[in-house]
Amino acid sequence: MNTKDTRHSLIEKQISSEKVFSGTLLHVYKDQAELPDGSSSVREWIDHPGASAVLPVFESGEVQLVRQFRYPLQEVFTEVPAGKIDPGEDPLITAKRELEEEAGVRAKNWTSLGMFHPCIGYTNEIIHLYLAWGLETFDNHVDEDEFLHPVRMPFQEALSGVINGKITDGKTITAIMRAASWWKTNHPFPLDLKL
């Protein structure tokens, strides 16, 4: 949908860029940008390395999710396993590593569910999404500094949670919706999913 038709009258050009905060996780920039009418404005944004997330589906019809406390919202969320991409890393490798580390699961079969942008207003983060099946479990080793509880539920329960608002995490919503749509067309094994 990002066609060029009207782009010339929308684009903003970087005039200058200043790093205003360099943290452990966050890297914040304050830029001056030239707007389409020639005026200038401040643009503040976060530089992010990108992430990968995966929805793992068991032949029982259950999906493997994780529960994690998210500090900015002071709340425990139900999420797909996910993590940041290391420099130069293939996003699929990231997804495989996070599935092992966060959920103690390996998968024989992987398919891409494309990517999406969680927060286009103030970060350049891209999240690559995958669907995995043909799963095997093992004792998992959670990252130091990362407290997670794996949780399984029927794929349909997760899908209903996305629609009725019980699941509210953006990457989890997008992964589950795209996975459900993909499954209805490709169905590696039978699942009755109601969208």
Residue 173, H or E segment: helix 170-186
Contacts of 25 (CB under 8 A, 6+ apart): none
Minimum Å gap between C-beta 47 and a copy of itself is: 8
Q: Which is nearer to a copy of itself, 111 or 134 (CB)?
A: 111
Q: Which is nearer to a copy of itself, 28 or 92 (CB)?
A: 28
17: Cα separation from own chain's centroid: 27
Residue (of 132, 133, 127) closest to 170 by Cα position = 127
Q: Which two tokens mark 124?
A: 């350049």
Minimum Å gap between C-beta 133 and a copy of itself is: 19
Per the CB < 8 A criterion, the answer to whether 15 and 32 are in contact is: yes
Q: Annotated catalytic, 79? A: no
Using DSSP bridges, classify how beta strands 127-137 and 51-57 pair: parallel, antiparallel or unpaired.
parallel
Minimum Å gap between C-beta 85 and a copy of itself is: 13
Q: Which is nearer to a copy of itself, 40 or 106 (CB)?
A: 40
Residue (of 108, 103, 102, 97) closest to 133 by Cα position = 108
Q: Find the Cα–Cα–Cα–Cα dihedral 135, 114, 76, 155, rounded to 10°.
A: -50
Q: Which is nearer to a copy of itself, 101 or 134 (CB)?
A: 101
Catalytic residue among 18, 89, 136, 144: 144
Q: What is the DSSP letter of 144?
A: T
Minimum Å gap between C-beta 9 and a copy of itself is: 7
Dihedral-angle region of residue 141 (phi above 0 means left; psi in -120 to 50 means alpha; beta otherwise): beta
Minimum Å gap between C-beta 182 and a copy of itself is: 8
Q: Which is nearer to a copy of itself, 9 or 108 (CB)?
A: 9
Please identify every residue annotated as catalytic.
144
